[in-house]
Structure 1
């Protein structure tokens, strides 16, 4: 049995456009569900989405506009270092997630959710969503682009890189949220990024 799976070790996987489409769509759906759980509980998240939320709370600006502006420098990095295919797929992924997040209250509502369970489940769902994106050479912008770039160029694990940045962003949330909500938010970020660190490894799965 072990020999039958040996060919999976460090072999490139070439995805068709249809495979990329289903992977990106699945990733967007899972991420939207995870974000909806965190938002329902009043928790924050890391990455550019978390930074956009913090800036929006602090300034009163529209969160969509802030999210777009925060991502602009990272799109420049994506085009210059990761290529147009990666950038286009990432742009489509961000657009899908934005649309799903806007429509979510009309189609997916939550009742009572235990904060501990919600933080863990939200983190895992977003982790699965990001993993689907990464394995189809896409991301959800911002920190995801930087994490993939550093993993490809320097060998730094994307999950650990994103965790460090996420914790720094969540540290800023003390200005806009209660300590208990921040503690649960940190738990969700740790679960999310440890999941990525364990499961997103280029020596196990190389997508093209």
Structure 2
């Protein structure tokens, strides 16, 4: 029970840090990566909250999660998406940032999201969408999830050039690089299990068998 409680506490921490990072980026009108970025773009053109769009956009990716990542991973990811959606809207209503420099918001937002994702990845969950795809490619093809997330974030940035000023896109790229850097330095891929024989153990057994023959 203690282990399970610690695990869920870490998941809650990760969701809060991600929501806080998204809040910093949105407060400076910077773009968020992955499905969150797609949600932000939709939020500029349609009258739904960011949290609502974030939940809707992530739904199709759960098919991949159920098929390839397992039911436990899928259920936890679904919970995290719902929680981050609620927290993102709540923070927007509770806190107002007017004076933070754009470059600082990019660094803080990217760093907080990166640390939050680290906590979620280490406890076998994600925030759906790009995270599910990144973890699947890491598991299947041994491609680091940080590289996948950065590449897909750049695609979102390219799509945002029609809706965001070039200066905002440039600062958003800084936030994406900070996020990817945090994942690249601290996220450890799952080690490949080795099933090779253990020569030392076999040698010790052979030595004991040899000694028993000498003794007899």
Over the residues paired in the alignment, what is the CA RMSD in angstroms?
A: 1.9
Higher RCO (CA 8 Å, separation ≥ 6 residues): 1
Among residues 60, 78, 82, which one is paired with 2:69 in the alignment?
Answer: 82
Question: How high is the TM-score relative to the length of structure 1?
Answer: 0.85
Which residue of structure 2 lines up, in the alignment, with residue 54 of structure 1? Answer: 41
Moved over 4 A (4+): none
Which residue of structure 2 lines up, in the alignment, with residue 153 of structure 1? Answer: 140
Among residues 52, 63, 81, which one is paired with 1:94 in the alignment?
Answer: 81
Say yes or no: does 1:143 pair with 2:130. yes
Distance 1:25-1:136 versus aligned 2 partners, 3 A rule: same
Unaligned runs of 5+ in 1: 1-14
Which residue of structure 2 lines up, in the alignment, with residue 5 of structure 1? Answer: none
CA distance in 2 between counterparts of 1:67 and 1:36 reads: 13
Number of aligned residues: 190
Which residue of structure 1 lines up, in the alignment, with residue 105 of structure 2? Answer: 118
What pairs with 1:20-39 in structure 2 (closer than 5 Å)? 20-39=7-26
Among residues 116, 119, 122, which one is paired with 1:132 in the alignment?
Answer: 119
Deviation at 1:105, TM superposition (A): 3.2
Among residues 66, 70, 76, which one is paired with 2:57 in the alignment?
Answer: 70
Say yes or no: does 1:43 pair with 2:30. yes
CA distance in 1 between counterparts of 2:3 and 2:153 reads: 32
CA distance in 2 between counterparts of 1:66 and 1:105 reads: 15
Deviation at 1:139, TM superposition (A): 0.6
Distance 1:64-1:102 versus aligned 2 partners, 3 A rule: closer
Equivalent pair of 2:18/2:84 in contact (CA under 8 Å): yes
Equivalent pair of 1:160/1:194 in contact (CA under 8 Å): no
Which protein has the larger Cα radius of gyration, Structure 1 or Structure 2? 2
Question: How high is the TM-score relative to the length of structure 2?
Answer: 0.82
